[in-house]
Chains A and B, each alone.
Chain A
Amino acid sequence: MTEPVETPPLVATPDIEANRKRIIAARNRATAWVLVGFVVLFFAITIVKMKI
């Protein structure tokens, strides 16, 4: 009789889940900074183009 094959868990372990949340939070922060940068950039371009 063969030993049952151990399959990897499909449900995330707490470690993996915490890591996943950390990565997504970091990505969200990076996206937010890029968007803020975009706003500042367009504001600056507008000011320069209008020669204020």
Chain B
Amino acid sequence: MTAPHLLAPDRLPAEWRDFFALTKPRVMTLVIFTGLCGLLAAPGHIHPVLGFVAILCIAVGAGGAAALNQWWEADIDAGMKRTQKRPLPSGKMERTSARDFGVALSAASVIVMGLAINALCAVILAVSIVYYALVYTVWLKPRTPLNIVIGGGAGAFPPMIGWLAVTGHITLMPVVLFLIIFMWTPPHFWALALFVQTDYAKVGIPMLPVVAGERATRRQILGYSVLLLPLTLVPWWIGGTGVIYGVAATVLSIGFLALAMRVGLRARTGDDDRMKPEKQLFAYSILYLFALFAALVADRWALILGGHA
């Protein structure tokens, strides 16, 4: 007969679902999608197995970086309503487990990417993980209200990696795709920050609405959205895409700008303001990125099916 285990009261080991939750699956969906679009829109051919491996490595790398982010920010997450149910702040998991899991995922993704795809993709994947887990999470986020602007670079790498997995070298197109997500990130996050700013203020994160105020944030959202419109058209102007992408980017970006103008030109009506325009902009920004990159792929495949590529 085995002896009963001594346990701290109510303390159970973390479930596999808790580890999965550490990878921020919902954020990963967007990362996988943009990475896949970069891969499918790139000129050239990649074996489907290697294409799958490239996307898998991008996803696992993003999951590893997310786990490291939550390991570092466990105390901050515990103080915010939006994040306090995550595995670490809710006490379902020990911090060291999250750290080890994050390091293992990150290392595995970079090594497999290097072995299966190419060294350039592995290096960029490693840079993106370090950029998110160290530069953004540890250094920028607690220090500067521009954290989102510079940190946005971390989420902008996946389409670039997807593209480079096919071509193996850097050209203007993957750089433009990087810049589009880089420019999209601030209005996307600041729209969210506007309606959850009390949470950020409570835990001392210097998000722009907390530090510079709502008015300045709204102006910045508008500014970035104005710049985003011509930037999304660059792939069309430089001949990297055709008319399908051009029309889709124009329509989608005008919609983005219209919603951003509603946010940028208004002020909170009071404490009971439900922040509907800000929530609409946030929801639309996610849909926008999905649709924009889907149009990029549709454009490329129309070209292939038309026999021009």
Q: Does chain B have a CB within 8 A of A4?
A: no
Give the interface SS of chain A, mostly helix, strand, loop or mixed: helix
Q: Does chain A have a CB within 8 A of B308?
A: no
Contact across chains for A9 and B6 when beta carbons are under 8 A apart: no
When chains A and B are docked, how far (Å) is the Cα of A48 from the Cα of B53?
11
Interface size on B, residues (CB 8 A): 20
Nearest chain A CB to B178 CB, angstrom units: 27
- A27 CB contacts on chain B under 8 angstroms: 13-16
Q: Does chain B have a CB within 8 A of A5?
A: no
- A9 CB contacts on chain B under 8 angstroms: 9
Digitize A1-45: 1 where CB-to-B-CB distance is under 8 Å, 0 elsewhere: 000000011111000110110011011001000000000010011
In the complex, what residue of chain A is closest to B15 when comparing beta carbons? A23
Contact across chains for A10 and B49 when beta carbons are under 8 A apart: no
Contact across chains for B9 and A11 when beta carbons are under 8 A apart: no
Contact across chains for A17 and B12 when beta carbons are under 8 A apart: no
Give the interface SS of chain B, mostly helix, strand, loop or mixed: loop
Q: Given contacts A16-B12, A19-B12, A26-B16, is CB(A48)–CB(B47) below 8 Å?
A: yes
- A48 CB contacts on chain B under 8 angstroms: 47, 49-50
Digitize B47-71: 1 where CB-to-A-CB distance is under 8 Å, 0 elsewhere: 1011001001000000000000000
Q: Given contacts A23-B15, A27-B13, is CB(A12)–CB(B4) below 8 Å?
A: yes
Interface size on A, residues (CB 8 A): 20
Contact across chains for A12 and B16 when beta carbons are under 8 A apart: no
Please pick, from A11, A26, A41, the residue contacting B15 in the complex, using a CB distance under 8 A.
A26
Task: Provide 16 A-B residue pairs closer than 8 Å at the C-beta atoms, listed in order of the A residue.
Answer: A8-B9, A8-B10, A9-B9, A10-B8, A12-B4, A16-B12, A23-B15, A24-B13, A26-B15, A27-B15, A27-B16, A30-B16, A41-B53, A41-B56, A45-B49, A47-B49
Interface residues of A (CB under 8 A from B): 8-12, 16-17, 19-20, 23-24, 26-27, 30, 41, 44-45, 47-49
Interface residues of B (CB under 8 A from A): 4-10, 12-16, 47, 49-50, 53, 56, 112, 115-116
What 5 pairs across the A-B complex have the smallest Cβ distances? Answer: A8-B9, A30-B16, A45-B116, A48-B49, A12-B7
